[in-house]
Amino acid sequence: FSGFDLMEYFNVRDLLGSRFEPGQNVYPQGLPDEYAFVTTFKFRKTSRREDWYLWQIFDKYGIPQVSIRLDGPNKALEYNAVGLTKDAVRAVFKDPEVENLFDRNWHKIALSVQAKSVSLYLDCKHLQTLSIEDREDIDMNGKTVIGKRVYDSVPIDFDLQRMVIYCDSKHAELETCCDLPKGPVSYPPVLGGGTGGVEGPYFHCIPEY
């Protein structure tokens, strides 16, 4: 497919440790202006109340370029990017259906990022489309991070099944939820490349101390 499978770049050692990868390794051709971000994951007992970045890209100076933030205290999902005429472009999704994301069940998030808007699909249902201002081109010379707490960058404890970026924003609305686990399930120990042979349908991300 045309896109980036982040599960191939973040191997088991990264998930259990530093959880970052140089941006040029993950996106060798750069991140397109319009794209779809898709992930299947679930909170664990402690992480559902945390304020953390599910995915974030920094430039080589450590300046955030783009991120998806899960705000546990306010039960909101937030998309942030560098603005063309202002420091940051932000879209905050907050409504009763978004609050369902913060339970301890499996959920699929799909974000369709377009030139002037960001659309959120939760468990294959379109919830909301928000307008955004013009964004700056993303500097890919830094690093990509997954699962880090907002205020101190401590790794977050959560279960991750899938994380993909498609180069076509329409993929967000085309996603199906046939692969979404419904309660206790049994999967064969087969995962994508770079997983180190971990068994089960997901990665269990253990926080550092």
Q: Mean per-residue pLDDT for 134-142?
A: 85
pLDDT exceeds cutoff 50 at 126: yes
Q: Identify the CATH number of the domain in which residue 134 sits.
A: 2.60.120.200
Tokens standing for residue 174: 């085309």
pLDDT band per the 50, 70, 90 thresholds, residue 145: confident
At residue 180, does pLDDT exceed 80? yes
Q: What is the pairing mode between strands 64-71 and 51-58?
A: antiparallel
Domain count of the chain? 1
Range(s) of the domain holding residue 36: 3-205
CA gap 66, 55 in Å, rounded: 8
Q: Starting at the earlier edge strand, list the strands of the sheet with 51-58.
A: 20-22, 143-149, 51-58, 64-71, 76-82, 88-93
Question: pLDDT digits over 49-99, tens only?
Answer: 999 999 998 888 989 999 999 999 999 999 999 998 888 899 999 989 999
